[in-house]
Amino acid sequence: MIHYDKKRRLDFFSDTTLSYVGSNRNFVEPDSSLKTDTVDQKIIANSLATIPVDTTFKNDTPQKSTAIQVDTLKKTTVVTASGNEPIRFFQAFHNVRIFNDSVQAVSDSLYYSAEDSIFRLFNQPIIFSHSSQITGDTIFLYTKNRTISRMYVFYNGMIVNKTPEGFSNQISGRTINGYFKDGSFNYMHVRGTPAQSIFYPRSDKDSSYSGMNRCKGDVIDTYFLDNQLNKVKFTNDVDGTMYPMSQIPEDQKFLKGYKWLDNRRPKTKFELYE
């Protein structure tokens, strides 16, 4: 079912089985009630889609679905499949925003295929989870059993994890292979030439910060605990410096390309209606 609001120019997709759009099309159509602008063949702008249960990642609470908003879907001809046919794929363009209780994302464009259950985010994608963000040229989100299981970042990948005190743990590399547990970051495998890291380790005795470790290597494995970066392991051609907390140079606190982009993060699902 689709609800079309002429005043706000919004399409709302219900949690029913969606049909699909054929090759080189831009959006999904649940049934023949979808309205298009016959003058310029555009799907109504600012479309909001709530993806059905069997085609998107979800947390363990059955009634909570993932919402996706896109800004415009350009020059589309809609292809109608039978009402009983499940969604095969869809594409979304410009200002894509995704909200889920544990993971949020933004990008310029998105492609989803039910064949492999992968969300492909293109052009400055950002993934948020709790106090962490991940950026890269292109990001694939893999889903399994209706929940996000892992991700792959293609080129110029960077992880930023904010500590409760406001320090920025950072890892950058050519590619990032990340794994999730219960909807949160669990383990990241970073490769680069070299991969680099800025990490604020804590003392085992009193949990105070030991200093800032700036290091590089061919491979960096990172481990998370309670949504915080807990351990960093380096492999091959390792080189780095440990700075005491009182002697950290200002020009060494951030890796090249560092940006904290929390202002772009969808905080609630209601922001997708704005």
The Cα 224–Cα 180 span in angstroms is 10
The Cα 135–Cα 209 span in angstroms is 26
The Cα 256–Cα 272 span in angstroms is 32
Instruction: Quote the pLDDT of residue 200.
Output: 96
pTM: 0.71
What is the greatest pairwise CA distance in the chain?
A: 69
Instruction: Quote the pLDDT of residue 269.
Output: 83
Contact at 8 Å (CB) between 158 and 171? yes
The Cα 246–Cα 214 span in angstroms is 15
Q: What is the mean pLDDT of residues 34-59?
A: 33
Burial zone of 98 (CB within 10 Å; 0-12 exposed, 13-18 middle, 19+ buried): buried
Over residues 55-92, the pLDDT tens digits come to 333 334 344 455 555 554 443 333 344 455 555 788 88
Look at residue 199 and tell me whether its pLDDT is greater than 80: yes
Torsion angle in degrees (nearest 10) through CA of 122, 265, 257, 211 = -140
pLDDT band at 154 (very low <50, low <70, confident <90, very high): very high
- SS3 of residue 198 by DSSP: strand
Instruction: Quote the pLDDT of residue 182.
Output: 84
- Would you state the structure tokens that stand for residue 29, as one six-digit string? 């159509």
- Report which of residues 141 and 21 the model is more confident about: 141
The Cα 49–Cα 35 span in angstroms is 15
pLDDT band at 115 (very low <50, low <70, confident <90, very high): confident
Burial zone of 263 (CB within 10 Å; 0-12 exposed, 13-18 middle, 19+ buried): exposed
Instruction: Quote the pLDDT of residue 271.
Output: 82
Over residues 86-110, the pLDDT tens digits come to 557 888 888 889 888 889 999 999 9
Instruction: Quote the pLDDT of residue 126.
Output: 97
Instruction: Quote the pLDDT of residue 31.
Output: 32
Q: Pick the range with the lowest mean pLDDT from 75-79, 142-146, 169-173, 232-236.
A: 75-79
Q: What is the CA radius of gyration of the chain?
A: 21
Instruction: Quote the pLDDT of residue 84.
Output: 57
Average pLDDT of the chain? 75
The pLDDT > 70 percentage for the chain reads 68
Maximum average pLDDT range among 71-80, 178-187, 239-248: 239-248
- Name the E strands within the chain: 2-5, 10-13, 36-37, 42-43, 48-50, 67-69, 89-99, 104-113, 118-122, 126-129, 132-135, 138-144, 147-162, 168-181, 184-199, 212-225, 228-235, 239-243
Contact at 8 Å (CB) between 90 and 52? no
The Cα 16–Cα 230 span in angstroms is 41
Contact at 8 Å (CB) between 67 and 157? no
pLDDT band at 42 (very low <50, low <70, confident <90, very high): very low
Q: Pick the range with the lowest mean pLDDT from 41-45, 113-117, 257-261.
A: 41-45
Instruction: Quote the pLDDT of residue 268.
Output: 87
